[in-house]
Amino acid sequence: MDEASKQELLNNLVSKAYLKQDVYQNTLSTFELLKTSIKKIIDEFREKAKLQNPEYDIPFEFRKRGDFEIEMKFAGDILIFMMHTNVFEIPRYHFVMKSSYVKEDKNRAYCGIINIYNFLSDSFKHRRVNDSGYLIGRIFINKDMHYFIEGKKEIGLLYNNFVNSEMNKEIACDIVESAIKYTINFDLLTPPYEHVKLVSVHEFLTNLDSMSLKTGKRLGFQFKSDQKEIE
List strands edge to edge, sheet with 69-74. Answer: 60-66, 69-74, 77-89, 110-120, 134-141, 147-151
Quick one: pLDDT at residue 223?
39
Quick one: pLDDT at residue 118?
92
Mean pLDDT by 10 residues, the chain (231 residues): 88 95 98 97 93 87 94 94 96 91 96 95 83 89 96 70 93 94 78 64 60 55 43 40
Helical spans, DSSP H, in the chain? 3-52, 100-104, 121-125, 153-156, 169-185, 193-196, 201-206, 224-230
**Residue spans per domain, the chain:** 3-230
Quick one: pLDDT at residue 229?
43
Quick one: pLDDT at residue 195?
61
> Model-level pTM?
0.83
